[in-house]
Structures are given as C-alpha cells and as structure tokens.
Amino acid sequence: MTPFRADLHTHTTCSDGTYSPIELVELAVASGLSGLSITDHDTIAAYAEAVPAALKNNILLLPGVEFSAAHQNETVHILGYGFNLNSPDIQSLCNKHQERRTKRLQAILELLHKKRMPLDPSDLASVTSGHPASIGRPHIALAMVAKGYVSSFQQAFDLYIGEGACCYIRDPLFSVEETIATLHQGGGVAVIAHPHLIKNPRLLEQLLLFNFDGIEGYYGNFSLLDNQRWLKIAHQKKWLLTGGSDFHGKIKPTLPLGRSWVNRERFDLLSGYHAHLH
C-alpha cells in the first residue's frame, strides 16, 4: 500500500499556477498523493471545480488558501486551512483582494507603458488560461517574456516588477491580524507560510507572537535538516505543523508536486476529521 501523503501547498490557473483545478487533482492522484490542498493566492475559486474532481478521483481535498498580508510594510504569506468554503467572511476578503489586484495590475501596466513596454489585455490573456480570479505579477512577467521585453521570467522581477524595482507597486494589503481573524471566523486555521523564506529575523520574531494555529515546517525543496528549526517551534508552541511543495506547474519547474507533504495524522488534525476522538 502506498503511504498516505498530502501536499498542502499548491497553485492552479485560478492564481499563478499552470494546471487547472481538475488537472491538478488528476496530477495529484497520478503522483500517488492521497490528500491535497489547493492554496491559490487570495482566492478559493478553484474549489468549484476541484471538489467534484476530488470526489470522482477518490482523493481527500482540504479547503485551503494563501492570503497575502502585510506587517510593518513587509509582505507575509498566510495559509488558511479547513475553513467553510461558503464562509461569507472568507469570500469577502477574497473579493477585496481581487479588487486590489485589478487596480495594482493597472498601475503596474501604466509604469511599464512609460518604460516603453506596453502590454494590452490580449498579451495577458495569452499567458493565462481564462480569467484567473487572482491576477499576479508572475502573469505580468510571463507576458513580458512573450513580448521580448525581457529574456527571462526572473529578469522581469529583477529589473522591473520585483520588490523595490522601478515598476514595483506596493499596494495596501490587509493586516496579519485581520487575515488571521477572517480565517478563524470562517472556521479555519491560520498558518505561517514558508518561514524558510523570511529573511528579516525581526519580522519572524514578531510573527511568532501572533495568534497563528500552525507553521509550514515542510516546504518546497528544503531538506529535513532545513526544516528542523520550524518543527521545533511547532512543538514548543503546540502549533499544527503543515507542509507542501508550493507547486505552480511550469512557471516553477524545479518544484514538483508532492516534493513536500504531511502524513495522515497531520492531515486529519487540520481537517478536523478526527475531532470526535478528542
């Protein structure tokens, strides 16, 4: 019997991933996963397709999302799990993010236009499939590569749209407190995403004081040795421990689906399946 593995950090075409929700569910099954959470940036739109696909393909699907939040002018990613997919609080936060992203896109396109790198809706449409609920900077980067403005996806970030570059827009994000509270209102848990990537030690110190329920200890290509620090923190704080690949498909080809995962016990703790045992 294949051991139970659940990848709890994945993206679809509803944000900046390259697999549709159905394709992702099918790939998860083909990759030998027994559980999956789709954590698109600031949207839960994938679940409309993913829920029936998961039932059909006999894989356990845990509601998830990756919210962008701000703390002292720095962006923080917060994973949410196990919330009610019909929660008006969560839906409303997603809607506010969509408005923010649409406005930010316009502002970035204006800056790029001034730099003689115009992009029109058809340029963006050619790098997204359909209309992603969350349009993101990776889409802009792909369109810039397709137009020949930059030679690579990474160069688009380094020279133009990455944090601090000339066409970067820092738009107002919702606070960490507000994001955690919304996830709790929706019946879910709030988890610090990829602490491995937090470069500012003061930011990390402060995040650990918030009302989080868990931390993403197993992440992407990081080794078990790299993960030790986060496993220790989860243990000390009696927090949930989560894990996932951050699979995006073709835009991040070095991160295969299932690269990081959690076992059955951790999956059940998150989904509350075993609530009756406690």
Q: What residues line the site for Fe ion (CB under 5 A)?
A: 66, 77, 246
Nearest distance in Å: CB 238, Fe ion: 24
CA 75 to chain centre: 13
User: Helices in the chain by DSSP H: which ranges?
Assistant: 21-30, 47-57, 88-114, 121-125, 137-146, 153-156, 176-185, 201-207, 224-237, 264-271
User: Contact 244/230 with Cβ under 8 angstroms?
Assistant: no
Of 8 and 234, the one with the shorter C-beta distance to Zn ion is 8
Measured from each CB, the residue nearest to ligand AMP is 136
| 246 contact choice in Fe ion, ligand AMP, Zn ion, none (CB below 5 to 8 Å, kind-dependent) | Fe ion
C-alpha distances in Å from residue 153, one per residue of 66, 138, 141, 258: 22, 8, 5, 24
Nearest distance in Å: CB 1, ligand AMP: 35
User: Helices in 71-160 by DSSP H: which ranges?
Assistant: 88-114, 121-125, 137-146, 153-156
Stretch 2-31 residues interacting with Zn ion (CB under 5 A)? 11, 16
CA distance 209 to 97: 25
Of 156 and 269, the one with the shorter C-beta distance to Zn ion is 156
Nearest distance in Å: CB 246, Fe ion: 4
Crossing angle of the two packed helices 88-114 and 176-185, in degrees rounded to 10: 140
- Chain residues in the site for ligand AMP (CB under 6 A): 41, 68, 136-138, 154, 157, 162
Of 143 and 269, the one with the shorter C-beta distance to ligand AMP is 143
Of 171 and 205, the one with the shorter C-beta distance to ligand AMP is 171
Nearest distance in Å: CB 196, Fe ion: 11
Of 11 and 101, the one with the shorter C-beta distance to Zn ion is 11
Nearest distance in Å: CB 9, ligand AMP: 11
| DSSP secondary structure letter of residue 159 | I
CA distance 50 to 55: 9
Binding site for Zn ion (CB under 5 A): 11, 16
